[in-house]
Amino acid sequence: MPRTARDVVFVDGVRTPFGKAGPTGLYAETRADDLVVRAIRELMRRNPSLPPERVDEVAVAATTQTGDQGLTIGRSAAVLAGLPTSVPGYAVDRMCAGAMTAVTTSGTGISFGSYDVVIAGGVEHMGRHPMGEGVDPNPRFLADRLVDPSALVMGSTAENLHDRFPGITKDRADAYAVRSQQRTAAAYAAGRIQADLVPTAVRSAERGWGLATEDEPPRPGTTLDGLARLTTPFRAHGNVTAGNSAGLNDGATACLLAAEDVARELGLTPRMRLVDFSFAGVEPEVMGVGPVPATGRLLARNALTMDDIGLIEINEAFAVQVLAFLEHFGIADDDPRVNPWGGAIAVGHPLASSGVRLMIQLSRLFEEHPAVRYGLTTMCVGMGMGGTVLWENTSREAAE
């Protein structure tokens, strides 16, 4: 029988504080699967009206699916989190857009009627599993000149983007990075970010047991002078530094999606409605420009322009990548619609988990701005892709 598409809503989202990858980072001795389990458990605790058996699927992304990020992590995390064994799960990999893809894929299942309620998220422990661990790229990529050699090094693709957009100077990228740090510091000071952070137990041989309650990467004292002195590791006299890029990080995210009618039946409050999404490919050597065609297609398909978009959460893998997006759409570098609470340059980018972090922040911003109707979450993706999701503010309807 033909089915009618159902409205899909974002109900709630949480994340662990993000840590710095490496032997001294927050989660150096914490398993990756335990991070995402902590997020799933907190999501269920915060939504007690949801019977665990009503969860129809658990989709969890990881870029490096090995070790404690392997074993079909969506299913293993569901079991470890204490969900009924009747709840299935699966793993997702679209590199940086893993959690975003977990949301769009499982959300499509809700729209189609295959699911009523799903949990979607992502995890990346870059300290245990560096990006590219165990990967064996086919030699034909280079032998057949399918990609430029720089396409396999993310920092080099960012330098290529500076070449593509010569008006985006290092000074401009550094200024954007400082602003990200400042906005994150202001959001922390106002208590805006902490509400969705899951306190997470950590331990180390030196410090013993502790509790992670805030992101480890932010550097609120960052200055333009300080960034100007950093080295450019990907190219002599280049533009990309550790200061105007996201770091190497560990962390997990999880969110609750539902059919809108089911959410209301279960006493769950929708925060925003999934309208549409788009993924697009670009030349791998300039992968940072991926959000441009993904967003352009999405806006055109929905008969919208950027003037209709009141809030934009864009992942800050590199400052140049954000600035290329803004320049293409004629948006000022300091537009208040864009990452008003800062972004990944400050809080970190644990690869596959970051898409849901963007959604968590957008949903909170919608609550603060009930007059805004539409918002975007968008990000670039390794190997030359971009992804964008269009959301509608349910707080606006409640205010009316």
Catalytic amino acids?
96, 349, 380
Count of beta carbons in the 10 Å neighbourhood of residue 145: 9
Q: What angle do CA 67, 70, 74 make, to 5 degrees?
A: 145
309 strand-pairing partners: 374
User: CB of 89 within 8 A of CB of 77?
Assistant: yes
Two tokens, residue 322: 């954000």
What Cα–Cα distance (Å) separates residue 60 from each residue in 64, 154, 213, 375? 12, 23, 23, 24
How far is CA 287 from each of CA 158, 270, 301, 380, 387, rounded to the nearest angstrom?
8, 33, 23, 6, 11
Which residue, among 19, 81, 12, has the nearest Cα to 50 in the 3D structure? 12
Spatial separation of the C-alpha atoms in residues 133 and 310, rounded to whole Å? 39
Cα–Cα distance, 347 to 329 (Å, whole number): 25
